[in-house]
Structure 1
Amino acid sequence: MERPSYITDEKLISFIHQAFREDVGDGDHSTLASIPYEAQNRARLLVKEDGILAGVELAEIVFSYLDPDLKFNSLMSDGDEMKVGDIAFTVEGSAQSILTAERLVLNIMQRMSGIATLANSMAKEVVGTNTKVLDTRKTTPNFRMIEKWAVVIGGAHNHRFGLYDMIMLKDNHIDYAGGIEKAVQKTRAYLKENNLNLKIEVETRNLEEVQQALDAQVDRIMIDNFSIEETKKAVDMIGDLAETEASGGITLETLREVAETGVDFISSGAIIHSAKNIDLSLKAF
Structure 2
Amino acid sequence: MTLEIPPLPGIILDPIVRLALAEDLGRAGDLTSDATIPAGTQMRAVIAARKPGVLAGLDVAAHTLRLIDPDVRLTVKRHDGATLTPGDVIAELDGAARSILIAERTMLNFLGRLSGVASLTRQYVDAVAHTKARVVCTRKTTPGHRALEKRAVRCGGGTSHRYGLDDAILIKDNHIAACNGSIADALTRAKAYAGHLRMIEIEVDNLAQLEEALKHGPHAVLLDNMSLAMLRDAVNLTAGRVPLEASGGVTLSSLAAIAETGVDFISSGALTHSAPNLDLGLDVV
| Range into which the TM-score falls when normalised by the shorter chain | over 0.9
Find the aligned partners of 1:268 and 1:115 in 2 and give their Cα distance: 12
Stretch of structure 1 that moved more, 116-125 or 71-80? 71-80
Equivalent residue for 1:161? 163
Deviation for aligned residue 1:140: 0.4
Find the aligned partners of 2:211 and 2:251 in 1 and give their Cα distance: 27
Find the aligned partners of 1:188 and 1:46 in 2 and give their Cα distance: 51
One-letter amino acid matched to 1:255: L
Task: Give SS of 1:85's match.
Answer: coil
Find the aligned partners of 2:78 and 2:98 in 1 and give their Cα distance: 25
Deviation readout 1:181-210 (Å, 9 max, x if unpaired): 11112222332xxx5731100010111111
Q: Does 1:134 align with 2:141?
A: no
Stretch of structure 1 that moved more, 158-167 or 61-70? 61-70
% identical aligned pairs: 40
Equivalent residue for 2:258? 258
Find the aligned partners of 1:144 and 1:86 in 2 and give their Cα distance: 27
Q: Is the 8 A contact 1:136 1:160 kept in 2?
A: yes
Deviation readout 1:203-257 (Å, 9 max, x if unpaired): 1011111112111210000011000000010111112221100001111111111
Q: Does 1:61 align with 2:54?
A: no
Equivalent residue for 1:232? 232
Find the aligned partners of 1:173 and 1:18 in 2 and give their Cα distance: 35
Segments of structure 2 that go 5 or more residues without pairing to the other structure are none
Equivalent residue for 1:72? 74
Stretch of structure 1 that moved more, 166-175 or 52-61? 52-61
Deviation readout 1:143-177 (Å, 9 max, x if unpaired): 11111111000111111111111111111111112
Superposition pairs of residues 1-285 of structure 1, within 5 angstroms: 2-3=4-5, 7-26=8-27, 27-178=29-180, 179-191=182-194, 195=195, 197-285=197-285
Stretch of structure 1 that moved more, 163-172 or 52-61? 52-61
Task: Give SS of 1:92's match.
Answer: strand
Stretch of structure 1 that moved more, 105-114 or 171-180? 171-180
Q: Is the 8 A contact 2:184 2:216 kept in 1?
A: yes
- Count of aligned pairs between the two proteins: 281
Deviation for aligned residue 1:4: 5.4
Deviation for aligned residue 1:2: 3.3
Find the aligned partners of 2:243 and 2:179 in 1 and give their Cα distance: 23
Q: Is the 8 A contact 2:17 2:60 kept in 1?
A: no
Give the TM-score, by structure 1 length.
0.94
Q: Is the 8 A contact 1:71 1:92 kept in 2?
A: yes
Task: Give SS of 1:165's match.
Answer: coil
Task: Give SS of 1:283's match.
Answer: strand
Q: Is the 8 A contact 1:56 1:88 kept in 2?
A: no
Find the aligned partners of 1:41 and 1:8 in 2 and give their Cα distance: 29
Give the TM-score, by structure 2 length.
0.94
Deviation for aligned residue 1:142: 0.4
Stretch of structure 1 that moved more, 82-91 or 23-32? 23-32
Task: Give SS of 1:133's match.
Answer: strand
Segments of structure 1 that go 5 or more residues without pairing to the other structure are none
Deviation for aligned residue 1:56: 2.5
One-letter amino acid matched to 2:228: I
